Structure 1
């Protein structure tokens, strides 16, 4: 028993006095340079998910959330009448996990880019076939799958960061898109 305790203590002392150099052993180097992480994005990425009553995914939106920061948003930062990526950074991405109707148009399951053209009284909402784009620089209406117009609504309070959420409706769900003092509802329903 004494040999085991003495031997164990000797091994611990040897380990403490002569630490293993991970770099010499060909293992991962945990130096400060390798542990630098990027700062939090000024417009962090988020997602909104719509699930059916059986908890199965129906639709998902991935978008970046720019902040208001005391700026005038619509008509100034986001010009009226111009195609907008509907967020910041990469263009907003909508994935449908099953065929859905958007207004009167049937949209097949798949991934689309969600663009909007904000206006004072209504927005044009666009589902576009070209995906993996940054901003709206590569936007072309030749790739549009569907375009619908939805009325602008007054938000009951200021929305500091661009926000999206699905809200159940009688026929499916509405995608709410809100920022500053405005929001719109984009209707989705089952194609069956």
Structure 2
């Protein structure tokens, strides 16, 4: 009798472990990631949630053109620098900033906003962004790139880049 109850208990535990594992996998659709590197003597890190293409059209569809986007999934993407930088020639003081973008077909607006910690989207689909807190806004040109399934950020000596689907959006930083 004891071994029968013990076996039943083991089966119940195994089923619960399996269900928990499946549930966690289902909710981990946009894993949190960090890109980090040096730009000159500055250490720059970007914390973001990385959604995947999953057969969808991203630019102009899932992420509409000409609307503010949180530059990742879930909470707004955050970029941190320990030294002052020049972003496309504009001064960005050391600190942490929410990174928002306005994708366009031929050019993108990149926004460094001093308000961090906000959720990325308000009810109704608008970005959770108070433009009064914009510190630096620049315009850059996207370029074609090899297919990249998951949203990725790169930090290198030339600056940062958002890479996703078949697009790369480089931002020159010194």
| Same fold? TM cut 0.5 | yes
How many residue pairs get aligned? The number is 149
Q: Which 4+ stretches in 1 moved above 2 angstroms?
A: none
1:39-84 CA deviation, whole Å, 9 max, x = no partner? 141000101111367xx76110000100000000000000000000
1:149 aligned onto 2:139:
yes
Instruction: Look up the match of 2:33.
Output: 46
Would the aligned equivalents of 2:85 and 2:92 in 1 still touch at CA under 8 Å?
Answer: yes
Aligned pairs for 1:49-68 (under 5 A) are: 49-51=36-38, 58-68=43-53
1:84–1:111 distance in 2 versus 1, CA, 3 Å: same
Q: Distance in 2 between matches of 1:87 and 1:77?
A: 12
* TM-score (structure 2 length as normaliser): 0.79
1:3-22 CA deviation, whole Å, 9 max, x = no partner? xxxxxxxxxxxxxxxxxxxx
1:133 aligned onto 2:118:
yes
Query: Which shows bigger deviation, 70-79 or 136-145?
Result: 136-145
Q: Distance in 2 between matches of 1:154 and 1:52?
A: 24
1:39 match: secondary structure: helix
* TM-score (structure 1 length as normaliser): 0.72
Cα RMSD, aligned residues only: 1.9
Instruction: Look up the match of 1:159.
Output: 148
Instruction: Look up the match of 1:180.
Output: 165
Q: CA deviation at 1:136?
A: 3.8
Q: Distance in 2 between matches of 1:52 and 1:114?
A: 17
Q: Distance in 2 between matches of 1:127 and 1:70?
A: 30
1:187–1:52 distance in 2 versus 1, CA, 3 Å: closer
Query: Does 1 or 2 have the higher relative contact order (CA < 8 Å, sep 6+)?
Result: 2
